[in-house]
Amino acid sequence: MTHGLLWLPLLVAFVVLAALGWLERRRQRLFLEWAAGSELSKLDGGGGARLKDGCLEWTSFEAGKFKPQGSLMVSKLELVELLSLGSGDAPLTDESHGACRLRLIGDGREYDLPFSDADRARRWIGELMSRSRCEL
């Protein structure tokens, strides 16, 4: 009987890990459907984003579906800044890694697009600016 009780926490851990894996797989499948046909897309801990037909849209994953957070026409994009995620308007240095956000300025408004990886965000800046055909 004690041997069975020793295996019970491992069984519970296995069930929890299997459920988390199933949820992640579902999130990825929904993202692939949502981002189909996009020129540029990303999915990470900060949420999803896609560039499709000149429109940049970003979402968060909540309650088993993607919830739209904002959109911006790339042709109206004026400036993209890389900022730290939690400390106001502090710019991110080139040596920084980890969670950050892109501040998108265009159409007279500012938008924040979260990223879980600063290197990926830097690549996105180059892609977005080349697609918007802006010169800073």
Domains of the chain: 35-132 (2.30.29.30)
Confidence (pLDDT) at 22: 92
The SS3 call for residue 129 is helix
- The whole-number average pLDDT for the span 49-56 is 88
Q: Does residue 111 come out as left (phi exceeding 0), alpha (psi in the -120 to 50 range) or beta?
A: beta
Confidence (pLDDT) at 89: 65
Quote the CA–CA distance of 32 and 18 in Å, as a whole number: 21
- The whole-number average pLDDT for the span 2-12 is 83
- The whole-number average pLDDT for the span 81-110 is 76
For CA atoms 135, 131, 51, 76, the dihedral sign is: positive
Global pTM reads 0.75
The lowest-confidence range among 26-40, 56-70, 72-86 is 72-86
pLDDT in tens, 115-136: 888 888 888 888 887 776 643 3
DSSP percent split of the chain into helix, strand, coil, nearest 5: 40, 40, 25
pLDDT category at 94 given cuts 50, 70, 90 is low
The lowest-confidence range among 2-11, 78-87, 99-108 is 78-87
